[in-house]
Structure 1
Amino acid sequence: MRYTYKHTLHACYIGFITQAIINNLGPLLFIIFHDAFQISFEMIGRLILINFGIQIAADLLTIKYADRIGYRTSAVLAHVFSAVGLIGLGVFPLIFPDPYMGLVVAVMIYAMGGGIIEVLISPIVDSLPGDAKASAMSLLHSFYCWGQVAVVIITTTIIALFGTDLWYLLPILWATIPIYNFFRFMKVPLIPTLPEGEKMSLKQLFSSRLFLIALLLMMAAGSSELTMAQWSSFFAEKGLEVPKIMGDLLGPCLFAVFMGIGRTVYGFWGHKMDLSKTLLASGVLCVLCYATASLVQIPIVALMAVALCGLSISLMWPGTFSLTAASFPKGGTAMFGALAIFGDVGAAVGPWMAGVVSDLAQKSSQLLHIGSSFGLTVEQTGLKTGMFVSMIFPLLMIIGILLLRQEKKLELPK
């Protein structure tokens, strides 16, 4: 079989599906972990923090070594880490003396794979022949969303049919995806990266005000997306008290569907839109979604806000990548790696902060009094407070875009 760049693109799509599995399977099992292993909200939030913290470390290592060992070797290693970590998620908690430590080790392993994938896949796609780079990047990132949809629907359906007793088989099942893509990346053609002398250094990038604003946007994008994505399943069941299946399908699943629709639409017609204006509108809509989800008492309305949040954040991550790549065409691995790191900082800190705030709110007599006056339980008060405070992240996105639009030197991708 003769492999072409089309096969390379398809392998990149599956790579982003793998990352969707890594980032979204765990949250669907949080309720099971919470009940079976007696772990607190903060400990759940800490798993998210560890996931993205390790991804940041992997981003740094990839920036330093990917060009030296080659993109192919790096991509293959990424899928090895992803598969081993997912298998470990189902096995380690059952064999470790401390189940929580087993979860932590598994998360650390697959997070290494997710971090490498995050840095490598975007520049690989950006290097492939074609003109509409922003549209191609958005279409690539849409596969993360469709992967998330598949993870939610398939995982929720299996749990509904067979119960929670066999939950440990689910991560092993999902590990077959990175195992398959491991073999694909061993064979697909890759375009050589820019020679070392033609690439911008991190020092050059960080000396640009435009790049610093882009890093702020990435951090805000990561926090806005992952806080809602990671907590929506738990929030629906505990905060809104809806059945798990309904909560997962109308919350995180519909969230991912709207996110995928936004990225797919931009992938096909994005060349006709002003990306910075679209991102500004996205930030405003995201603020409204967080406010509605946390303040409205009607569960179906709150769930619709969670879902619509997926549309609001759909272009934040790929859009910032595209704006930055258009401004720094010689940024290379260092540029994509630095953007990924700040995106992961936001993705780690945002959900963890929501968990911390939720725990603290449950200890505040004043907040509990306010919550009880609206008929909220202690857990509901905590989760809604965490969701409300998380509104700060899309607000940062709005501020960053306004700063970006003041920079006359930025040439928006057409």
Structure 2
Amino acid sequence: MKNLFSQNSRALYACYAAMACLAMALNFLPVYLTSFSDTFGGASGLTAEQLGRIPAVMFLSFIVAILVTGPLADRGSAMAFILIGLLITMAGLGVVACSPSYSFLLFAVAVMGFGAGVLDMILSPIVAALQPDRRSAAINWLHAFFCVGAVGAVLIASVALRWGFSWRIVSLVMMAAPLFTFLLFLRLTLPPLIDEDTQRDSMPALIRQPFFIVCLIAIFLGGATETGLSQWLPTYVEQGLGYSKEAGGFTLAGFSVGMALGRMVAAVLQEHIPPVPLMLGCCAVTAVLFILISFPPSPVIAIAAAIAAGFSGSCLWPTMLAVSADAYPQGGATMFSVLTAIGNAGCSIVPWLVGVIINYSDIHIGLLAVMACPVGMMVLLVWMARWSRGKAVIPPP
């Protein structure tokens, strides 16, 4: 029993490290959006739509990886997918560093996004299998380490900017993290993702469940709430508020710290507050903060509101994953892959739409439009609470 506990603990910590790796790969890019414009855009620079296309391509590749590999993970080895994801992520970072043109950069971020997508697909079901009695708290802790990795990446990128190091050097340095984590997993064994004595819930059966459909829409809006702000935050601080590139990077780091703390607090609160009411309150606070971010009385208040929005909106994605896993514990990696793909569709589409809106108006209006995401999620959460009471979809803890 002691050996099993030790093995499970080491596997859990390795999953945290892998989550930090994929976050590092994904989150240093926004710090360098204006640098990419200077490098690849010529005298006029890249347009807002072209800049928005960089995270859009990355997250679309993320989604493709999740949808392709999710069903395979239920039939294969979870360990194999972890190792493949780490290797592809590391290779993607290397290709980003060597990008000679804007088109090649899009290809590079697609490779990196694919590797990160494989990791994101498999990590949540592994953690749910490691901690079946406290899925919501465990998945919030896992996703808190996404924020830890994001903070690390943004701080490294921001310090590199200040010291004059190229984004190419930063990308090469970050290859060390997935390499270390790859070596860590080689020493571990992982549990089965579902109860092997019980039939797995098929995706066609899940799609016929109204509650599951609402979970899909809600996680789309949850992902959009996060990245609709985070992907544009450094640019907003620099161009909308008049601060330096370094200030934009440090603000994004503050946003990620807020998200990490928010998910840790949510993991503790979910011992006392049901997940749906918790998300409902967080959505309401986040919607108000978007107004302060978009039309602030002062730039300092805008930055403070953005960091606070990272805290308040942080639990939406992981808690919705946990709600779905509690409702359908035999969903397996396929269910997680569909949920994650839909969530990342929100992460991809909404930042791009913000860029389109900015082209026709300004960045303040673009960020204000993101407020529709937490407001829409509130409507869904009210429905979910009523449905749960009437249908008893989610079993009691």
| TM > 0.5 | yes
* CA distance in 1: counterparts of 2:254 and 2:28, whole angstroms: 15
Partner SS for 2:98: helix
Q: Which residue of structure 2 lines up, in the alignment, with residue 267 of structure 1?
A: 267
Report the Cα offset of residue 359 of structure 1.
0.9
Go from structure 1 to structure 2 and tell me whether the alpha carbon gap of 1:304 and 1:341 turns closer, same or farther (over 3 Å shift): same
Go from structure 1 to structure 2 and tell me whether the alpha carbon gap of 1:225 and 1:196 turns closer, same or farther (over 3 Å shift): farther
Q: Which residue of structure 1 lines up, in the alignment, with residue 344 of structure 2?
A: 344
Q: Which residue of structure 1 lines up, in the alignment, with residue 334 of structure 2?
A: 334
Residue 47 of structure 2 is aligned with which of 37, 40, 46?
Answer: 40
* CA distance in 1: counterparts of 2:197 and 2:108, whole angstroms: 35
Report the Cα offset of residue 203 of structure 1.
0.5
Residue 85 of structure 1 is aligned with which of 72, 88, 92?
Answer: 92
Go from structure 1 to structure 2 and tell me whether the alpha carbon gap of 1:317 and 1:152 turns closer, same or farther (over 3 Å shift): same
Unaligned runs of 5+ in 2: none
Q: Deviations over 1:34-56 (max 9, x none)?
A: 12211211011111111111111
Residue 386 of structure 2 is aligned with which of 406, 409, 412?
Answer: 406
* CA distance in 2: counterparts of 1:132 and 1:196, whole angstroms: 21
Q: Deviations over 1:383-405 (max 9, x none)?
A: 11111112111112111111111
Report the Cα offset of residue 247 of structure 1.
3.0
Instruction: Check if 1:238 corresponds to 2:239.
Output: yes
Partner SS for 1:18: helix
Report the Cα offset of residue 153 of structure 1.
1.5
Report the Cα offset of residue 412 of structure 1.
6.6
Aligned partner letter, 2:67: L
CA contact (8 A) 2:73 2:334 kept: no
Go from structure 1 to structure 2 and tell me whether the alpha carbon gap of 1:32 and 1:411 turns closer, same or farther (over 3 Å shift): same
Partner SS for 1:340: helix
Partner SS for 1:271: coil
Partner SS for 1:79: helix
* CA distance in 1: counterparts of 2:32 and 2:202, whole angstroms: 41
CA contact (8 A) 1:223 1:393 kept: yes
Q: Which residue of structure 1 lines up, in the alignment, with residue 7 of structure 2?
A: 4
Q: Which residue of structure 2 lines up, in the alignment, with residue 204 of structure 1?
A: 205
Instruction: Return 227-236 or 185-194, whichever deviates more.
Output: 185-194
CA contact (8 A) 1:323 1:412 kept: no
Q: Which residue of structure 1 lines up, in the alignment, with residue 67 of structure 2?
A: 60
Go from structure 1 to structure 2 and tell me whether the alpha carbon gap of 1:319 and 1:389 turns closer, same or farther (over 3 Å shift): same
Pairwise mapping of residues 156-171 of structure 1 onto structure 2 (< 5 A)? 156-161=158-163, 163-164=164-165, 166-171=166-171
Instruction: Check if 1:30 corresponds to 2:30.
Output: no
Report the Cα offset of residue 357 of structure 1.
0.6
CA contact (8 A) 1:275 1:412 kept: no
Instruction: Return 200-209 or 397-406, whichever deviates more.
Output: 397-406
Go from structure 1 to structure 2 and tell me whether the alpha carbon gap of 1:411 and 1:271 turns closer, same or farther (over 3 Å shift): same
Aligned partner letter, 1:356: V
CA contact (8 A) 1:17 1:148 kept: yes
Report the Cα offset of residue 335 of structure 1.
1.2
Partner SS for 1:92: coil
TM-score by length of 2: 0.93
Go from structure 1 to structure 2 and tell me whether the alpha carbon gap of 1:196 and 1:60 turns closer, same or farther (over 3 Å shift): farther
Report the Cα offset of residue 74 of structure 1.
0.9
Report the Cα offset of residue 205 of structure 1.
0.6
Q: Which residue of structure 2 lines up, in the alignment, with residue 387 of structure 1?
A: 367
Residue 14 of structure 1 is aligned with which of 8, 17, 20?
Answer: 17
Aligned partner letter, 2:40: F
* CA distance in 2: counterparts of 1:64 and 1:275, whole angstroms: 27
Partner SS for 1:193: coil
Report the Cα offset of residue 90 of structure 1.
1.0
* CA distance in 1: counterparts of 2:268 and 2:375, whole angstroms: 28
Q: Deviations over 1:282-335 (max 9, x none)?
A: 111111111111112511011111111101111100110111111111111121
CA contact (8 A) 1:133 1:322 kept: yes
Instruction: Return 313-322 or 289-298, whichever deviates more.
Output: 289-298
Report the Cα offset of residue 197 of structure 1.
6.5
Report the Cα offset of residue 4 of structure 1.
1.4
Go from structure 1 to structure 2 and tell me whether the alpha carbon gap of 1:22 and 1:412 turns closer, same or farther (over 3 Å shift): farther
Q: Which residue of structure 1 lines up, in the alignment, with residue 122 of structure 2?
A: 120
Q: Deviations over 1:94-150 (max 9, x none)?
A: xxxxx1012111111111111111110001011115522211111111101111111
Q: Which residue of structure 1 lines up, in the alignment, with residue 280 of structure 2?
A: 280
User: Which stretches of structure 1, 4 residues or more, deviate above 6 A after TM superposition?
Assistant: none
Report the Cα offset of residue 413 of structure 1.
5.9
* CA distance in 1: counterparts of 2:32 and 2:17, whole angstroms: 23
CA contact (8 A) 2:200 2:331 kept: yes
Partner SS for 2:96: helix
Q: Deviations over 1:213-246 (max 9, x none)?
A: 1001100001000111111011100111112223
TM-score by length of 1: 0.90
CA root-mean-square deviation: 1.6
Pairwise mapping of residues 101-120 of structure 1 onto structure 2 (< 5 A)? 101-120=103-122
Identity of aligned residues (%): 26
* CA distance in 2: counterparts of 1:17 and 1:349, whole angstroms: 23
Q: Which residue of structure 2 lines up, in the alignment, with residue 51 of structure 1?
A: 58
CA contact (8 A) 1:19 1:144 kept: yes
* CA distance in 1: counterparts of 2:269 and 2:385, whole angstroms: 22
Report the Cα offset of residue 411 of structure 1.
2.7
Report the Cα offset of residue 196 of structure 1.
9.0
* CA distance in 2: counterparts of 1:247 and 1:27, whole angstroms: 9
Aligned partner letter, 1:155: A
CA contact (8 A) 1:323 1:413 kept: no
Residue 79 of structure 2 is aligned with which of 59, 72, 76?
Answer: 72
Unaligned runs of 5+ in 1: 94-98, 362-381
CA contact (8 A) 2:284 2:374 kept: yes
* CA distance in 2: counterparts of 1:65 and 1:402, whole angstroms: 34
